Structure 1
């Protein structure tokens, strides 16, 4: 069995206490770069030297990553509602104050506050679905909240019948367990009805809410944003596959993940992505991995738009064309040496020399 032991030190060099909730729940959500940005920023917040100036640019330099990765990291953690960005005094939109939310208090608020107290203003992303069960008393209290009553009315319109008490309790449990906005619950029922699941609509809507929760969707605004991005992504998938001649099949989940990285990690536009697809004509067997290698090379070379690709190609062509000339100047063959020795004679002198050699041969 594997075990871990913490060593001791004779000199106190300082510590930064990281909440276990972050390590257990949030850290596995994303890549190492975003975690590094969070941890470094948290260190500055916990024990910051007042004489040291910190900015997103200095964080990027410290971690040896692009500034865009730092900004994307803060956007991600803000979407998870564990940091709050405040505008800086100098008005620089890339340098803002980052407030770290107390994760212990966030957990308490999400798991121990009464169900009827849930509102859109207080709704935040919980770490994991709670095991809350709605009691009759909770249901009575929830019915006193205008927002909850309005939700029940909306769902009655969607399903075209009255809600049973046990169904209303299940709906309250959905709100509590997944800590989502009440309008999102209505959207889940509306979506379930459109999918023809009226007979088992409560069960299907619960699955929809759970799926949205897993994708970090807690409000109608986040849902609309997600659906818009999904539509854009499928457009990218289709254009890439059409460009590569893969129209006969759809992308696998692994291929989607790779193509998503072109937008999320490399921040490339569809024009740059399709330019890489056109470069695939250099191989007889193009693939998503082949295109990924091209785009990764461009990203590392600082490519941002199509015009940058043309400039890079010109530099590479110039570099390639100069190499044979340089190599030719360095090569010395027997022919070149013989020619250099002959250069010290004129044409008449060479002719006389040849005749003299022939006479010598005849005299022998």
Structure 2
């Protein structure tokens, strides 16, 4: 990704959010999009004028596609202007002066058909796959089913609005293609709405993940969601967090549970050691600890104790090791051949000394 230069009009050197943005743009915008715009304001006010899509994604714990989607949204809303190179990469972002804009509310684009949230489930970042569309005749046939009628009624209650055509298409896809029962469809919507996610793309992504994992009943879905909520709660308590894990944090936890196969007890031990050594909830540091344990085939806390003991013994042996005396260095003096003296030599030396009057 190329570097992006950031420019603005009518924005001071402190992070000020124009009232027109709060009054006219924020209420109808996706929360993730609002975060991107606020971060751009902060970058400009802090003179962080050189940035990239990937740096914004890392800072906001989002994907690059989601950042691009947010930037395109605000460009359509005319509150920023994007400049692109021949490869269609964004090279500059120009924040517009909202005070010069008309007070007339903007016409909001319809984002029901777009993935306006990071479509993640409790396990992975599954993206909705392409699916067929149902004809009006087929929809009429399926909606005559009493199970589907009841599920549609409950879904309307969860969404707190009448069903749209795309809602019908998704419900029928879940029932016909993924073979979800009416009870599982209702629980799917209940689960997603409880997390504040009413977007159809998000709901579909969760459904696809469940289908891939063989979750085909309401009971299995409840067990799976409860299990992962337990994993998240374990990490939150260990790190002293009072919020839901972010996207990248969820990916780490998923890796520890699904790839490494560690229990909550082992994960908690790694989190505790992270806090002791770094004095902060550092997911990267915890991941390094768990990766080391995984490579050493740790299965229980007893294995961790064994590794600690081996490390301690190794350190003591290293400290107690006697350093052998080195061989005397060779120099021009000890390289000189030593002379051997006889008794006659000593007598001759004594006679010479006496003759000199000593």
TM-score tier by shorter-chain length is 0.3 to 0.5
Give TM-score, length-normalised by structure 1.
0.42
Give TM-score, length-normalised by structure 2.
0.43
More helix by share: 1
